[in-house]
Amino acid sequence: MAIKRIAINTGGGDAPGLNGVIRAVALSAYREGWEVVGIREGYRGLLDDDPELLPVLDPDRVRGIMHLGGTILGTTNRGDPFNFPVMVDGKPEPRDMSKKLVDRFKELGFDALVALGGDGSMSLATRLLKAGLPRVIGVPKTIDNDLKGTDITFGFETAVSTATEALDRLHTTAQSHRRVMVVEVMGRDAGWIALHAGIGGGADVILIPEIPFRLESVYEKLHRRYQRGRQFAIVVVAEGAKLQDGAAVYKGEKGQFREHAQLGGISEYLAREIGRATGYETRNVVLGHLQRGGSPVTYDRVLAQRLGCAATRYLKETTESGLVAMRGGRTQLVPFSEVVGGTRGVDANDELVLTARALGLCFGDEPPGTFVA
Ligand code: F6P
């Protein structure tokens, strides 16, 4: 069926590059003669009967947005249409709004949806296809870079460069005060940001969810370093890093409309324990949403343009649904079945892990006596 009208939305946590993809889809689809309509705030624009929530994205509407962080469409991680918060007597109640969504999508004459998101958004896309949406093309977004089926997601390079710049800054103040600085970066299930920023920013310790750690191993690494005369250190920890007994540190609980409990606080815990056990003065910094905000770096801008134009191309050249993945440096349309269910974590034998170990970095899983003075 020839495409005439498509919808586009952004779901889950934002990431630098969302606006770039929106622009690329809008411009490339316009050249095909299609109309592109934005759905605001995940799927809310289709569920609330407010035309303001469905802006037409013609070339004028997407001018000058490529370098801007955030998303002109807004996003949410509380917008699951199968468990949608509907206000009843001033309180949000969960409702399955999938039928209304599919009906409205068809009434509005959309031939396909381009969904920008991570694993949560791609699972929703799969369920909505089953519920009757005609076609969905996913575009891989997440600063965590943990989406299965693709080598890279947009937003990741920007987050890594923000984290690396923070490490550079923390290095100088750590050195001045002879302190250990513990830097908490994002990464719920995957330690890609910690690993890249840790290596690029010259950290001494990298703690990630995939490699459970022992505090004693971290203490030993720090002692060896201080004994060698380098009397300051940088520890990078992903928010989802776990101790070997499986314990992670949380700030908030799962909610009725929140799929995941809110992580946060592991750097504070580590700073306290390191200070207490080693006697070295220790401070912690949480980079948090700084990693999600701001302008995308050039790599993410270019990636966003490639992925957005590829989404249009696959809509035109195939009749399939799936994720526009990057594999081996080229885009490829990958079935959602290869993408949903689980995340793509760091393998313990990944070359980057081996590189870091070869450089003497500590992951907190080393046996005693590993770090020689
Ligand atoms: O999925 C990306 C991510 O950055 C995770 O690493 C983090 O746990 C989460 O977003 C935090 O999202 P929010 O604060 O928006 O709930």
Digit-coded pLDDT (tens) for 2-36: 999 999 999 999 999 999 999 999 999 999 999 99
Answer whether 142 contacts ligand 1 (Cβ < 6 A): yes
pLDDT tens digits, one per residue of 82-93: 999 999 999 999
- Amino acid identity of residue 314, one-letter, is Y
Among candidate residues 60, 30, 23, 11, the one with its CA nearest the CA of residue 302:
23
- The residue-averaged pLDDT of 42-46 equals 95
Rounded to an integer, what distance in angstroms lies between the CA atom of residue 209 and that of residue 105? Answer: 39
Most ligand 1 atoms within 8 A of CB, residue of 188, 239, 344 to mutate: 188
Please tell me the residue having the least CA distance from ligand 1 atom 15. Answer: 13
pLDDT over 70, % of the chain: 100
Give the confidence band of 170 by pLDDT, cuts at 50, 70, 90: very high
Residue 289 Cα to ligand 1 middle (Å): 8
Q: What is the pLDDT of residue 253?
A: 82
Give the confidence band of 162 by pLDDT, cuts at 50, 70, 90: very high
pLDDT of 1 above 90: no
Render 53-107 in DSSP notation, one character per residue: GS-B--GGGGTT-TT--S-TT---SS--GGGEEEEETTEEEEE--HHHHHHHHHH
Q: What is the pLDDT of residue 372?
A: 76
- Name the average pLDDT for the chain: 96
Q: What is the pLDDT of residue 202?
A: 98
Q: What is the pLDDT of residue 49?
A: 81
Answer whether 141 contacts ligand 1 (Cβ < 6 A): no
Q: Give catalytic status of residue 14 as yes or no.
A: no
- Token pair 């974590």 is found at 345
328-360 burial code (b ≥16 CB/10 A, e <16): eeebbbbebeebbeebbbbeeeeebbeebeeee
Q: Specify which residues 155 forms β-bridges with.
A: none
pLDDT tens digits, one per residue of 249-260: 999 888 777 778
pLDDT of 145 above 70: yes
Q: Is the pTM of this model over 0.85?
A: yes
The token pair that represents 334 in the structure block: 């990958």
Give the confidence band of 51 by pLDDT, cuts at 50, 70, 90: confident
**Lowest mean pLDDT segment, chosen from 32-46, 162-176, 339-353, 359-373:** 359-373
Cβ distance 209 to 237 under 8 Å?
no
- The residue-averaged pLDDT of 299-310 equals 98
Q: Calculate ∠ Cα 12-8-37, nearest 5°.
A: 135
CATH ID of 159-293+347-358, from 3.40.190.10, 3.40.50.460, 3.90.850.10, 3.30.1490.20: 3.40.50.460
Q: What is the pLDDT of residue 112?
A: 98
Q: What is the pLDDT of residue 373?
A: 63
Rounded to an integer, what distance in angstroms lies between the CA atom of residue 208 and that of residue 183? Answer: 12
5-154+296-338 with 159-293+347-358: one CATH topology? yes
Residue 266 Cα to ligand 1 middle (Å): 15
Answer whether 117 contacts ligand 1 (Cβ < 6 A): no
Look up the CATH number of domain 5-154+296-338: 3.40.50.450
pLDDT tens digits, one per residue of 278-294: 999 999 999 999 999 99
Answer whether 144 contacts ligand 1 (Cβ < 6 A): yes
Upper half-sphere CA count for residue 361 (Cβ side, 13 Å): 27
Give the confidence band of 309 by pLDDT, cuts at 50, 70, 90: very high
User: Out of 14, 80, 144, 300, which one is annotated catalytic?
Assistant: 144
Rounded to an integer, what distance in angstroms lies between the CA atom of residue 184 and that of residue 268? Answer: 9
Domain boundaries, the chain: 5-154+296-338, 159-293+347-358
- The residue-averaged pLDDT of 336-355 equals 97
